[in-house]
């Protein structure tokens, strides 16, 4: 992948001379709903370009790989060998179909046959580069100011007491009698607190978001290593597949105290399963060797094209998307063929009717503010009943 726009311009100029049997594809993702979400954007781009292809060197005899350039304003450029053209056209068509069905926007696309349209491609690239200025990412900082900002954030994140940034929320199992029993504690970093501390918006800056969340993954693991708080429940944390397969991760897990072995649950995003399946499967194998449970996070209510699901321990299904849209839980469970409902967790339960809908669909595990409120009410009721019994005891 190119590190600056000059590389892309140089490449376009070379095509004027060589006229290679390749194709240039200019994509505008700015009209895709939620493209500002960094994990979604990263996964969508990788899926469009082909899993692993933009990030790896071609193997001997395998021919050239796809080249991927990312520019600001949600533009990307792909250079596609002729042999991979049909697959890439099919993949783009599938994405367009899914976006249309979900009313999630559309992708602007311009194709160039570089053996015949190298001049037009060069003009288009120069226009994009002019718009981008010097803001190419993710492999190089967009500019010196942003690099300074990341270095400041990195130093602060290593110095700050991460426990002040953590939030804990329980996953509950609802018994047949309606009693809620905590079975897992999820710990997350409050990004909104970081935004306030550093007067920035991480979600609106994909390059910075990627770098900061990498640091937070490591800080979370080291926090677990040193945390002396007695906790009888498994602890769930959100990580990326690349973190789980890293040498650092294995080194930290090897140093875990006995109380943490078999008690860690790693939540991996569904988008990584879709867009980086090989890395996801490597993370699964690593987790299995280390006796770590895996939860598939943000399982969609509607099935993906291949309907494939990894063999994980938990499947986390959000009840709403954060934009006011709520799912039909029965329909969502309908496509999870062969999945035991007892291994599904309905998350983001902001209202009690989420629990009713989940129970109707066979789900018994819930998480969210409404469930926490119900659990507190149940505990208060048991406490009052206990006090009444003690007060009337002879």
Cβ pair 237, 187 in contact under 8 A? yes
Tell me the pLDDT band of 3, cut-offs 50, 70 and 90: very low
Instruction: Report the Cα 243 to chain-centroid distance in Å.
Output: 12
Where is pLDDT greater, at 202 or 343? 343
* Residue partners of 186: CB distance under 8 A and separation at least 6: 168, 169, 170, 171, 235, 236, 237, 267, 367
Per DSSP (E only), the strands in the chain are: 22-28, 67-71, 75-81, 108-113, 166-174, 180-189, 235-238, 264-269, 293-297, 314-318, 344-347, 365-366
- Beta strands 166-174 and 180-189: pairing type? antiparallel
Task: Find, among 134, 269, 138, the residue nearest to 208 by Cα.
Answer: 138
255-309 per-position pLDDT tens digit: 888 778 888 999 998 888 887 788 899 999 999 999 999 999 999 888 877 788 9
116-172 per-position pLDDT tens digit: 898 898 888 877 766 654 343 333 444 455 566 677 777 777 777 788 888 899 999
Would the pTM count as exceeding 0.85?
no
Please state whether the peptide bond connecting residue 129 to the residue before it is cis, i.e. omega within 30 degrees of 0: no
- Beta strands 264-269 and 293-297: pairing type? parallel
């Amino acid at each position: 992948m190119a590190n600056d726009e000059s590389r892309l311009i140089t490449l376009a100029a070379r095509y004027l001379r060589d006229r290679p049997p390749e194709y240039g594809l200019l994509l505008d993702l700015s009209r895709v709903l939620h493209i500002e979400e960094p994990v979604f954007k990263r996964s969508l781009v990788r899926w469009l370009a082909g899993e692993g292809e933009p990030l790896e060197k071609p193997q001997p005899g395998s021919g050239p790989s796809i080249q991927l350039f990312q520019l600001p304003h949600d533009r990307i450029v792909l250079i596609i060998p002729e042999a991979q053209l049909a697959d890439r056209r099919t993949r783009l068509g599938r994405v367009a179909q899914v976006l249309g069905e979900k009313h999630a926007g559309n992708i602007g696309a311009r194709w160039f046959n570089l053996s015949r349209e190298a001049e037009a491609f060069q003009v288009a690239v120069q226009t994009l580069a002019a718009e981008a200025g010097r803001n190419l990412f993710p492999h190089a900082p967009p500019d010196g100011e942003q690099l300074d900002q990341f270095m400041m954030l990195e130093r602060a994140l290593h110095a700050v007491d991460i426990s002040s940034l953590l939030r804990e929320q329980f996953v509950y199992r609802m018994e047949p009698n309606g009693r809620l029993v905590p079975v897992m504690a999820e710990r997350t970093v409050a990004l909104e607190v970081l935004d306030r501390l550093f007067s920035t918006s991480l979600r609106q800056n994909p390059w910075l978001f990627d770098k900061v969340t990498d640091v937070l993954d490591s800080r979370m693991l080291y926090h677990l290593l040193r945390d002396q708080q007695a906790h009888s429940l498994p602890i769930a944390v959100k990580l990326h597949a690349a973190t789980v397969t890293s040498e650092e991760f294995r080194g930290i897990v090897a140093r875990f105290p006995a109380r943490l072995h078999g008690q860690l649950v790693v939540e991996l995003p569904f988008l990584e399963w879709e867009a980086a399946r090989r890395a996801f499967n490597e993370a699964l194998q690593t987790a299995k060797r280390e006796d770590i449970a895996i939860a598939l996070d943000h399982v969609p209510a509607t099935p993906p094209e291949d309907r494939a699901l990894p063999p994980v321990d938990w499947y986390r299904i959000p009840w709403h998307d954060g934009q006011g849209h709520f799912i039909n839980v029965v329909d969502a469970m309908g496509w999870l063929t062969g999945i035991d409902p007892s291994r599904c967790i309905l998350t983001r339960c902001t209202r009690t009717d989420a629990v009713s809908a989940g129970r109707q669909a066979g789900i018994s595990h819930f998480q969210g503010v409404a469930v926490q409120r119900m659990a507190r009410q149940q505990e208060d009721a048991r406490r009052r009943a206990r006090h009444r019994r003690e007060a009337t005891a002879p």
